[in-house]
Amino acid sequence: MGKMKGHVVIVEDDNAIRISAQMLLNQHFSRASVLDSPEKLPNYIKVYNPDVVVLDMNFSPGKTDGKEGFKWLTYLNESHPQIIVCVITAFGEVELAVRALRNGAFDFIIKPWENQKFIATLSAGILFRESKTRIHQLKKTQKELNKHYLGSKDHLVGESEQMQEIRKMLKKVAPTPADVLITGDNGSGKGLLAKEIHCLSPVADKAFVHVDLSSLPETLFESELFGHEKGAFTGANEARPGRFELAHGGTLFLDEIGNLPVHLQSKLLVALQERKISRLGTTEEIRVDFRLITATNQDLFKMVDEESFRQDLLYRINTIEIHIPSLRHRPDDISILCKHFLDIYSKKYRKPELGIEDPAMHALKKYTWPGNIRELMHTMERAVILCEENTIKTEDLSLRGHEQKGSELKSLNLNELERMAMLEAIERSNGNITKAAEMIGISRVSFYRNLKKHGIKQI
């Protein structure tokens, strides 16, 4: 069996113990060093940055009160919190070791030690250091992303009455720790609103962890949300924290919660109620504390009536509910959003003088936008790319023949109506052919056959 990657340093005044410990640890870890005095620790850490420090509690002859050890334990916790500290004490000093645990030590080792237990304790310390480092880096990255996001001028674009009401709600809700449920169609901006709540909250500088439950395989649900220990299942080659742990102190955003199967809803409910989780492969409980935001494009109250969503889970997540209306229900925002995206993409594609002609804007306002803001954003980006002059024209928009609203139809030809219905279904399902076929009321095979019949390229 190869050596474990990790750097351990033993701080011990007894030469015989130093030699014995170094000989043992050199067999199991990539680097094991010894120091005869804790006074050498600051310079040693500055140069080598070890993973684990094994710290004796008494260094002066005749001393057994552990004051020296506690002094250096405090120094390590305050100046180098990333380093894992294990204290080493004599057999009769167990009470001293327990006090050290309360003061921030990871674990303790009793002299004379059992080799197997000594190695296991230090191995656990190295793995814990790796997890702490990974979480720290993720939170640092998230903090930088939040800083960049908060630096932008406006996040929720629109001046319609509906958007003004949402902004009023944000001012009331964001500063509180209340759980929020966001509802709205696909592409309406639920993720953006969740991010906005986080950035206006007291934990804005902490992690914002986004979990798309619709894309999470059932077999990975517990591992991804709660984490796992090394060896918990095939392929678990190292311990990993789950999304609940990563969100500790910040915000956890569970997107598409309506897609979660009923048998997994109960596991989620327990974790949310208790705010405690256990990684796969261990029964040790980990306390977690975060702001919870959930989102869905489904009617959860209807799902409760149909027994496809737990009523107790719904009550747990919707302390506050915010609904984002579809773009077709707030047409006053379309021109504002168009100009917003035009500004973004004209800069991105280096067309700073770009404008949009009145007929093109009229077509954009008349369009039903089944894909909501996401579709409008993609439409404007495509138009900026395809535009050959300084003005975007109607033909640059590629609106796919859906310009009519409600029952206003351009044609009564059955083939054309069928083609338009298929395009509408593809848009509403975001290109998911199975869902699109269900909307039309035909089989997946028939849907593919009609795609070919009408010359529609799969999106």
What CATH number is attached to the domain comprising 373? 1.10.8.60
> Does a structural domain hold residue 243?
yes
Q: Are 199 and 146 in contact (CB under 8 A)?
A: yes
Indicate whether 443 and 344 sit together in one domain.
Answer: no
> Alpha-carbon distance 431 to 213, whole Å?
19
Indicate whether 312 and 392 sit together in one domain.
Answer: no
How many alpha carbons lie under 13 Å from residue 418 in its C-beta half-sphere? 15
Phi then psi for residue 187, to 5 deg, are 80, 5
> How much is the pLDDT for 207?
86
Better-scored residue on pLDDT, 373 or 459: 373
Indicate whether 176 and 315 sit together in one domain.
Answer: yes
> Does a structural domain hold residue 139?
no
Indicate whether 272 and 359 sit together in one domain.
Answer: no
> Does a structural domain hold residue 15?
yes
Phi then psi for residue 280, to 5 deg, are -60, 135
> Alpha-carbon distance 252 to 209, whole Å?
5
CATH code: domain of residue 222: 3.40.50.300
Place of tokens 């804005």: 204
Per-residue model confidence as pLDDT tens digits over 154-172: 467 888 888 999 999 999 9
Indicate whether 195 and 51 sit together in one domain.
Answer: no
Domain that holds residue 232: 152-323
Average pLDDT over residues 59-88: 89
- Per-residue CA distances from 437 to 111, 420, 434 (Å): 71, 13, 5
Indicate whether 314 and 334 sit together in one domain.
Answer: no
Indicate whether 158 and 210 sit together in one domain.
Answer: yes
Indicate whether 313 and 333 sit together in one domain.
Answer: no
> Alpha-carbon distance 332 to 352, whole Å?
25
Question: Of 268, 298, 323, which residue sits at a domain end?
Answer: 323
Per-residue model confidence as pLDDT tens digits over 337-346: 999 999 999 9
Among 52-56, 99-103, 420-424, the minimum mean pLDDT is found in 420-424
* Total structural domains within the chain: 4
> Alpha-carbon distance 245 to 172, whole Å?
27
Indicate whether 106 and 125 sit together in one domain.
Answer: yes
Phi then psi for residue 224, to 5 deg, are -70, -40
